[in-house]
Copies of this chain bind each other. A is one copy, B any other.
């Protein structure tokens, strides 16, 4: 497995692979890999001749009061996991080369970035869309894989790819969960044992909502109230939002008549956790 830090070297590597007719698959990550990432990596392995995993904690997607500095990092473990997952290359650029002096270009997907996490993180998705556009230009993949846990991120990236005619196939991969239901996230490492038990209320509520939906409930207010009730039973769970949105526009819906997503963000201790469930017939 090759480790590449230089952008020019990454581009030359990918250009060479493409010229040889090889298909490149790509998994962008912020490192501190967990089973969810490995799931993406293993699936990407089957979709290309050359598998690139990027590890880059992207400063511009964190707000000024967010956890950029304390975001967990473990290079040795990550490298080992990438290799075990079959990666050919880890692309790990340095911040100073990604954002040189005078950097100013931003890719913005305004409507899809507004609701849900965009309310409390107004510059987050601009930072995500911009870094993903950059990483695509660095790694030049044919296919790129993203997890469905970050539902809004996935919607933003799909829209950007469509709107800017980026010739890359975006594959979404279902959320991987712990045995008890908790969605895998690098930020789960912030949780104490007790907080982790509280955090189980998120998936528990979402599974309950899915069940109610399957039994015919279409009223968003009822489903949201059910979720709120289950989560607020836990001490120390501070709800950022619980919403039901149209999967295409991410606008709030009152009555579910088309595919919708219940998405939520809850702060438990120092961890802001997100999760979602798609509601469709």
Nearest-Cβ distance from residue A3 to partner chain B, whole angstroms: 18
Q: Which of A86-102 contact B (CB under 8 A)?
A: 100, 102
User: Roughly how many angstroms separate A21 CA and B166 CA in the complex, as a whole number?
Assistant: 21
Decide yes or no whether A111 CB sits under 8 A from chain B. yes
Question: Which residue of chain B has its CB nearest to the CB of A10?
Answer: B165
- Taking A11-B165, A130-B164 as given, write out 4 further A-B residue pairs in contact, using a Cβ cutoff of 8 Å, ordered by the A residue number: A102-B249, A105-B109, A108-B108, A137-B166
Nearest-Cβ distance from residue A36 to partner chain B, whole angstroms: 27
Contact across chains for B19 and A165 when beta carbons are under 8 A apart: no
User: Roughly how many angstroms separate A103 CA and B162 CA in the complex, as a whole number?
Assistant: 8
Q: Which of A201-256 contact B (CB under 8 A)?
A: 248-249
Contact across chains for B107 and A111 when beta carbons are under 8 A apart: no
Residues of A that sit less than 8 Å from B by CB: 7, 11, 15, 18-19, 21, 100, 102-112, 129-130, 133-134, 137-138, 140, 159-160, 162-167, 248-249
Contact across chains for B7 and A159 when beta carbons are under 8 A apart: no
Question: How many chain copies?
Answer: 2
Contacts of A18 in B (CB 8 A): 18-19
Question: Which residue of chain B has its CB nearest to the CB of A106?
Answer: B108
User: Roughly how many angstroms separate A50 CA and B39 CA in the complex, as a whole number?
Assistant: 41
Contacts of A130 in B (CB 8 A): 164
User: Roughly how many angstroms separate A248 CA and B167 CA in the complex, as a whole number?
Assistant: 32
Nearest-Cβ distance from residue A52 to partner chain B, whole angstroms: 14
Q: Which 3 A-B pairs rank lowest in CB-CB distance, beginning with the nearest?
A: A105-B163, A137-B165, A105-B160
User: Roughly how many angstroms separate A104 CA and B21 CA in the complex, as a whole number?
Assistant: 33
Contacts of A134 in B (CB 8 A): 163-165
Q: Which of B11, B100, B110, B162 contacts A106 (CB 8 A)?
A: B110
Contact across chains for B11 and A159 when beta carbons are under 8 A apart: no
Contact across chains for A159 and B102 when beta carbons are under 8 A apart: yes
Give 15 pairs: A residue, B residue, CB < 8 Å, sorted on A. A11-B167, A18-B18, A19-B19, A102-B248, A104-B112, A105-B107, A105-B109, A105-B129, A106-B107, A106-B110, A130-B164, A133-B164, A134-B165, A137-B166, A138-B165
Contacts of A103 in B (CB 8 A): 163
Question: Which residue of chain B has its CB nearest to the CB of A130?
Answer: B164
Question: Which residue of chain B has its CB nearest to the CB of A129?
Answer: B105
Contacts of A138 in B (CB 8 A): 165
Nearest-Cβ distance from residue A188 to partner chain B, whole angstroms: 31
User: Roughly how many angstroms separate A56 CA and B20 CA in the complex, as a whole number?
Assistant: 33
User: Roughly how many angstroms separate A134 CA and B11 CA in the complex, as a whole number?
Assistant: 19
Contacts of A11 in B (CB 8 A): 165, 167
Q: When A21-B19, A102-B159 are in contact, do A137 and B107 touch as well, CB less than 8 Å?
A: no
